[in-house]
Amino acid sequence: MNSLFPHLINELVESFNVDRDAATEQATMEDLGLDSLALLELITRYEDAYDVELMATLEDRLGTTSTLADICAVLEQVLPAERKASQPAGEPA
């Protein structure tokens, strides 16, 4: 499992009222009832949490049919290594 997956699930549950049990690695944003605006908001939350610019890099690589595993994999590729090793800003250790 991707190291960012638990954080992604928490974001979806807390910020978008997604059912935790429905948020599996193979679920898509569409499966969870979320649209492209929710995906953009999610990316913005990662930008804020990790203090990085992601939108230009991710906009062509992710969509509402991306699985949660796909989203995590792309985030793993684009987040700086030193950021992935630590908790996102505001995240309890």
Q: What is the pLDDT of residues 54-81, one digit of tens each?
A: 877 777 788 888 899 999 888 888 886 6
Mean pLDDT over residues 6-26, rounded? 94
How many other C-beta atoms are found inside a 10 Å radius of the C-beta of residue 93?
A: 4
Ranked by mean pLDDT, the top range of 24-33, 60-69, 77-86 is 24-33
| Mean pLDDT over the full length of the chain | 83
Measuring CA to CA, which residue among 40, 44, 6 is closest to residue 24?
6
pTM: 0.77
Higher pLDDT, 35 or 57: 35
Three-point CA angle 31, 77, 5, nearest 5°: 45
Domains and CATH numbers, the chain: 5-81 (1.10.1200.10)
Measuring CA to CA, which residue among 67, 81, 90 is closest to residue 3?
81
